[in-house]
Amino acid sequence: MMNFEPLSSFIDRITSWRIPWAEVLVMYRNEPVFRYRNGYANLEEQTPIDDGRIINLYSLTKIMTCTAALQLLEKGAFLLNDRLSDYLPEYTEMNVKKRLPGGELILEKAVHPITVRDLFTMSAGFSYDLGLPSIREAVKHTGGKMPTRAIAEALAKEPLQFEPGTRWNYSLCHDVLAALVEAVDGRRFGTYIREEITRPLGMDDTGFDLPDGQQSRLAPQYEYSDELGKPVRKDGNGFRLGTEYESGGAGLLSTVSDYAQFLNALTNQGTSPDGVRILSPASVELMRTEQLTESMRGDFSWEQLKGYSYGLGVRTHISKARSGSLSPLGEFGWSGAAGCLAIIDPASQLTVMYAQHMLNNQEPFVHPRLRNIVYACL
């Protein structure tokens, strides 16, 4: 028998600690079996968190971006081992930063081309520096619009941090992957997402822009201030580089109910309970297959991801001995800057969508504990 009391107690505990509000939805065999929320959507006005609040997903966007790109892989639009420059010609010749024995930094021509796989696996050699000269110039040049395709053109002007395919570095890879989707498909990235994923799944509250009718449902966003010892209001999405920028890495807005539908389709091997297929089972399996080489694993070293490796845009559980996690091997997903977490587990037929809306999100404390509690409750 399932008993979720420990999970609701944990939500109560963290929302009386640093986090203004939190919500969790657990789905088992395609059915919601537990949902709980606590805390204040608006701390200043003491407004309790309610149903249907819209939040910034931040990096939880990455799972959908990689799903979109895998759909195109299924259609033969590209192969993982293709050169990126076959589709985005600006990447034909790249420079790489190299450090000489004396410490001096020099630029050399890259030996390896960036591949499509490198975008999926965060191994293209990019950084997550939104203040790069080429990006600032592109924002200015586009009059503050910065369409998605412009990020790829801007980054191609910057030297790479390392030879493509040799290291893992969390970066703007999935923003460039969104530009690749636009280049091979022809539609704007947000239009592609809407027409191929969210609308077929009935996800009316997910997108890169909020219609007027949804603005009032956007949850206030906070950041925990160690200095003040409390969360302070900090609205907006700093990863949105322009008015037309649809960030494949951090741009989507959604609700717990909406995004859980998408995550559950992946748990269900790529098909929703209603029969809407967004990916094949083979693609879901490839997505959660470890992609890192032995030398790259050392870069994937976040404390809360011990025992996990990286697939095509997702963490994937590879060692219970190292993780100490109660989830089975092959459980996968990702998280977001304001603290949301996706757990996708085809073997257990389990989907978990956890949400909060606070930057400086306490993820290393919250997420591993939340995951263990969920599995212990089943």
Q: What six digits make up the tokens of 167?
A: 């290291």
Give the percent of the chain with pLDDT over 70: 100
Query: Which of 190, 208, 198, 212 lies closest to 258, judged by CA?
Result: 198
- pLDDT of 100 over the 90 cut: no
Q: What is the mean pLDDT of residues 57-71?
A: 98
Residues sharing a CB contact under 8 Å with residue 172, sequence separation 6 or more, in sequence order:
126, 127, 128, 130, 151, 155, 249
Using CA atoms, how far apart are residues 374 and 378, in angstroms rounded to an integer? Answer: 7
Q: What is this structure's pTM?
A: 0.97
Residue 324 confidence (pLDDT): 97
- Strands 358-359, 222-225: parallel, antiparallel or unpaired by DSSP? parallel
Kindly list the distances between the CA atom of residue 318 and the CA atoms of 6, 186, 205, 327, in Å, as whole numbers in the listed order. 26, 37, 33, 10
- In tens, the pLDDT along 183-236 reads 999 999 999 999 999 999 999 999 999 998 899 999 999 999 999 999 999 999
H helix runs in the chain, sequence order: 5-15, 61-74, 116-120, 133-141, 148-155, 173-185, 189-193, 212-215, 256-267, 281-287, 294-297, 320-323, 363-377
Confidence of residue 64 (pLDDT cuts 50, 70, 90): very high
Share of the chain above pLDDT 90, in %: 97
H helical segments located in 222-314: 256-267, 281-287, 294-297
Query: Residue 102 above 90 pLDDT?
Result: no
